[in-house]
Amino acid sequence: MLEKLNEIERLGLDALEAVRDEAALEAWRVAHLGRSSALMQLFNGFGQLTKEERPMVGQRANEVKKVLEAAFGARSEEMRQAALKRSIEQERLDVTLPGRRVPLGRLHPDTQILRELYRIFGEMGFQVYRSREVESDEYNFQLLNFPVGHPARDMQDTYFVESEGRGDNPIVLRTHTSPGQIHAMREVAALNPHNPPPVRIVLPGMVYRYEQVDARHETQFDQIEGLAVGLGITFSNLKGTLADLARRLFGQNVRTRFRASFFPFTEPSAEFDIECFLCGGKGCTVCGGGWLEIGGCGMVHPVVLRNGGYDPERYTGFAFGLGSQRIAMLRYRINDIRYFWENDLRFLEQF
């Protein structure tokens, strides 16, 4: 056995002398140190040795393995140095060659549309307010007038992060950006609780729903929430704001519509649709019937105003929540929402 080990060592070292390139070096590694090499086979057959033989053979086998590994390391370093030297010798500086193009990254279409929305809303006087993605049930639902067990919760199938021991207040991934309304109102109202200042904000961010994925539904998507609270704010302010947004995004002739709807946190409530440019209003897999639903909106419900620290007898407000990818789909004529997170360069490089 010891003789066999000596031979394995000698054969290995001799063969390494003959190695001249990377491929041969790798082939050598597989043949002499790989799983089916003679040395590894010998390790595998260890169980068949007698108790007396085992320590001696074991020690020698480990020695041989170390010797071969060290020789491999040394040879590979030698070859690396030699290659480096060759490339330095071969390098000539040709100042007439064109420069190498530096690869430039670009912004994701969703980021581009969000930035455009911040700019437009900024011009209208809305500030960006950021709020958390992991929320309590209380903020995501209860303070927005979805009591525990309310059927409207079914509109937003929820990912739960932690339920145990939390009773009716589990931790959830936010299903919409609306909980940020409560955070923002409470923060602003705290500045002057008897006479809270007005609020005019947009709240962008990722939201999560356990959805059936299709051409216009993802399980993770960006929303941009808007909230304006103050004295004398009306539904026509809301309509004007969203219609103006559509014109700034898509031009003066864009057609929009408001459809009566229901959300527990607004009253009255509406859905805001933009004419689908992908099919020219004829109806396609993206829009369904010629109009693409961009967001929900309405007048902030008195319960929500009160939960935010605003007296609904004095203050009114409007709110909306838009899907930024839906806007990007219209803007860039993207006919399937699934392209956004696939990270396919053939898609991303077009923006």
- Which one of 264, 295, 308, 309 is in contact with ligand FA5 (CB under 6 A)? 295
Site string for ligand FA5, 170-199 (x = CB under 6 A): ------x-x---------------------
Task: Give the residues across from 208 on adjacent strands.
Answer: 220
Our finding on whether 273 is near ligand FA5 (CB under 6 A) is no
Q: Looking at beta carbons only, is 295 or 309 nearer to ligand FA5?
A: 295
Least separation in angstroms between CB 291 and ligand FA5: 11
Q: Looking at beta carbons only, is 75 or 153 nearer to ligand FA5?
A: 153
- Which one of 266, 274, 278, 330 is in contact with ligand FA5 (CB under 6 A)? 266
The rounded radius of gyration (Å) of the Cα atoms in the chain is: 33
**Separation between Cα atoms, residue 329 and residue 348, nearest integer Å:** 13
Residues whose CB is less than 8 angstroms from the CB of residue 348 and which lie 6 or more positions away in sequence, other chains included: 106, 108, 109
Least separation in angstroms between CB 202 and ligand FA5: 11
Q: Looking at beta carbons only, is 64 or 143 nearer to ligand FA5?
A: 143
- The residue range among 111-119, 132-140, 277-285, 290-298 that interacts with ligand FA5, by the rule CB under 6 A, is 290-298
DSSP letter at 162 equals: E
Interface with ligand FA5: number of residues (CB under 6 A): 25
- Backbone phi, then psi, for 193, in 5-degree steps? -55, -30
**Nearest C-alpha neighbor of 319 from the set 250, 246, 255, 270:** 270
Q: How far from 218 is each of 134, 201, 326, CA to CA, in Å?
A: 18, 25, 11
Our finding on whether 323 is near ligand FA5 (CB under 6 A) is yes
Least separation in angstroms between CB 82 and ligand FA5: 57
Our finding on whether 319 is near ligand FA5 (CB under 6 A) is yes
Tell me if 216 sits within 8 A of 337, measured CB to CB. Answer: yes
Q: Looking at beta carbons only, is 25 or 249 nearer to ligand FA5?
A: 249
- Which one of 136, 142, 326, 334 is in contact with ligand FA5 (CB under 6 A)? 326
Least separation in angstroms between CB 237 and ligand FA5: 14
Our finding on whether 131 is near ligand FA5 (CB under 6 A) is no
Our finding on whether 340 is near ligand FA5 (CB under 6 A) is no
Residues whose CB is less than 8 angstroms from the CB of residue 226 and which lie 6 or more positions away in sequence, other chains included: 121, 126, 201, 202, 203, 241, 297, 318, 319, 320, 321, 322
- Which one of 28, 72, 221, 339 is in contact with ligand FA5 (CB under 6 A)? 221
> How are beta strands 291-300 and 316-323 bridged, if at all?
antiparallel
Our finding on whether 275 is near ligand FA5 (CB under 6 A) is no
Intra-chain end-to-end CA distance of the chain, in Å: 67
**Separation between Cα atoms, residue 176 and residue 162, nearest integer Å:** 18
Least separation in angstroms between CB 270 and ligand FA5: 8
Tell me if 75 sits within 8 A of 19, measured CB to CB. Answer: yes
- Structure tokens, 69: 């590994």
Our finding on whether 294 is near ligand FA5 (CB under 6 A) is yes
Q: How far from 210 is each of 44, 196, 296, 308, CA to CA, in Å?
A: 50, 37, 19, 28
- Which one of 218, 224, 274, 317 is in contact with ligand FA5 (CB under 6 A)? 218
Our finding on whether 328 is near ligand FA5 (CB under 6 A) is no
Our finding on whether 223 is near ligand FA5 (CB under 6 A) is yes
Least separation in angstroms between CB 176 and ligand FA5: 3
Which DSSP string do the residues of 42-70 spell out, in sequence order?
Answer: HHHGGGGS-TTHHHHHHHHHHHHHHHHHH
- Which one of 42, 68, 117, 297 is in contact with ligand FA5 (CB under 6 A)? 297
Residues interacting with ligand FA5, by CB under 6 A?
155, 176, 178, 209, 211, 217-218, 221, 223, 225, 263, 266, 293-298, 319-321, 323, 325-326, 337
